[in-house]
């Protein structure tokens, strides 16, 4: 039986069946399926900058025929000291059915889920959840290989600051893939051990079907971290140089949540290379967000 949920805030909500349903629906949208929900009002509340996630959600919303109501946090009553709860209560009173939100505070959505009928779709909370990114990653893998069972996935880089690494690893494992981690050892810790081992980068590369690079999120570093970080050093030690990429299997794919720090995580020439799925991920993101929004809308209509 299909699981319904009012809000879409956490990767933990996604079991195997839900993952497969969402992927199937997103692939159908990509193949040309359409849907129209013109009575649904949505507002995108981005308290952190993001071109790609914000724009992707807005295209998804318009493709579904939703009414998109603009919201600029820098001009909002949050400046007059209004709490996030009262902002959501306000939007609910005004008739906003869905609030797509990004906010720097982890778990910001906890207190917003029971106060009104407005559904919360989490588009990123600090270093926490980012379920639509996880789902578009999974869709891209599924689209490439047709299955998850037996795939070997390597996740490389700044695991500790990543919104997505932990939830991708958990769901991929659950779907039958095996996961390994690499990158700077200091960014790995025992909390990842249940999902996969930590291995050296040159050992990892020839084995994987999917190489998931993580973004070095310099903007989340503290001052000490930022000063000690040398881009060229990172690239030489932990980045995918053209030489390292030659160790990949020919059918292996390179993924990255973007924006890429060119010549840090990945050699610039490889960003648009034949094994890169980075822009395919973005493209798929629109269709996956359509599927996720539709799931919320259907739950509301059945409520």
Residues in contact with a second copy, counted by CB under 8 A, come to a total of 53
CB nearer to a second copy: pick between 152 and 283:
283
Q: According to the annotation, is 110 in a ligand binding site?
A: no
Chain-centroid distance of CA 174 in Å reads 18
275 in contact with a second copy (CB under 8 A):
no
42 in contact with a second copy (CB under 8 A):
no
In contact, 124 and 53? CB cutoff 8 Å: yes
In contact, 36 and 67? CB cutoff 8 Å: no
- As to burial, measured by CB atoms within 10 angstroms (0-12 exposed, 13-18 middle, 19+ buried), residue 93 is exposed
The least distance separating a second copy from the CB of residue 140, rounded to whole angstroms, comes to: 12
Q: Pick the binder of a second copy from 4, 51, 105, 237 (CB under 8 A).
A: 51
Q: Pick the binder of a second copy from 37, 71, 148, 234 (CB under 8 A).
A: 71
54 in contact with a second copy (CB under 8 A):
yes
Q: According to the annotation, is 53 in a ligand binding site?
A: yes
The least distance separating a second copy from the CB of residue 202, rounded to whole angstroms, comes to: 28
Q: Which segments within the chain are labelled E, that is strand?
A: 41-46, 67-69, 98-103, 119-125, 152-156, 178-182, 210-213, 253-255
Q: According to the annotation, is 244 in a ligand binding site?
A: no
* Token reading at 99: 């609030």
The least distance separating a second copy from the CB of residue 150, rounded to whole angstroms, comes to: 29
119 Cβ contact partners less than 8 Å away, ≥ 6 residues apart: 6, 7, 8, 97, 98, 99, 296, 299, 300
Q: Which segments within 126-283 are labelled E, that is strand?
A: 152-156, 178-182, 210-213, 253-255
C-alpha span between 190 and 219 (Å, rounded)? 25
Within the chain, how many helices (H) and strands (E) appear?
10, 8
32 in contact with a second copy (CB under 8 A):
no
C-alpha span between 1 and 286 (Å, rounded)? 26
Chain positions 205 to 264 lying near a second copy, rule: CB under 8 A, are 219, 258-262
Q: According to the annotation, is 249 in a ligand binding site?
A: no
Q: Pick the binder of a second copy from 19, 84, 91, 212 (CB under 8 A).
A: 91
Q: According to the annotation, is 52 in a ligand binding site?
A: yes
3-state DSSP assignment of residue 213:
strand
Q: According to the annotation, is 144 in a ligand binding site?
A: no
The least distance separating a second copy from the CB of residue 59, rounded to whole angstroms, comes to: 5
283 in contact with a second copy (CB under 8 A):
yes
111 in contact with a second copy (CB under 8 A):
no
49 in contact with a second copy (CB under 8 A):
yes
CB nearer to a second copy: pick between 228 and 272:
272
3-state DSSP assignment of residue 179:
strand
Extract the annotated binding site for carbamoyl phosphate: 52-53, 102, 130, 133, 258-259
Binding site for a second copy (CB under 8 A): 41, 43, 46, 49-52, 54-56, 58-59, 62-63, 67, 69-72, 74-83, 86-87, 89-96, 219, 258-262, 271-272, 279-280, 282-283, 285-286
């Amino acid at each position: 039986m299909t699981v319904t949920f009012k809000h879409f805030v956490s990767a933990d909500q996604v079991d195997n069946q839900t993952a497969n349903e969402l992927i199937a629906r997103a692939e159908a949208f990509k193949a040309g399926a359409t849907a129209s929900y013109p009575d649904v009002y949505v507002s995108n509340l981005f308290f952190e900058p993001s071109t790609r996630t914000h724009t992707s959600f807005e295209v998804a919303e318009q493709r579904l025929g939703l009414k998109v109501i603009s919201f600029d946090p820098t001009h909002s009553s949050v400046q007059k000291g209004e709490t996030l709860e009262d902002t959501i209560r306000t939007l609910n009173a005004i008739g906003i059915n869905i609030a797509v939100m990004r906010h720097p505070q982890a778990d910001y959505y906890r207190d917003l889920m029971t106060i009104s009928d407005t559904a919360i779709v989490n588009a990123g909370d600090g270093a926490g959840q980012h379920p639509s990114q996880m789902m578009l990653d999974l869709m891209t893998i599924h689209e490439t290989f047709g299955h998850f069972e037996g795939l070997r996935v390597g996740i490389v880089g700044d695991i500790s600051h990543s919104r997505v690494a932990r939830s991708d690893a958990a769901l991929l494992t659950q779907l039958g893939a095996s996961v390994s981690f690499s990158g700077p050892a200091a960014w790995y810790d025992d909390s990842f051990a249940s999902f996969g081992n930590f291995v050296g980068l040159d050992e990892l590369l020839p084995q994987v079907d999917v190489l998931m690079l993580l973004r070095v999120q310099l903007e989340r570093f503290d001052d000490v971290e930022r000063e000690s970080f040398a881009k060229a050093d990172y690239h030489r030690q932990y980045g995918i140089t053209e030489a390292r990429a030659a160790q990949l299997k020919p059918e292996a794919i390179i993924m990255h949540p973007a924006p890429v720090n060119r010549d840090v995580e990945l050699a610039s020439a490889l960003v648009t290379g034949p094994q890169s799925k980075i822009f395919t991920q973005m493209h798929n993101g629109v269709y996956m967000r359509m599927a996720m929004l539709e799931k919320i809308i259907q739950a509301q209509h059945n409520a």
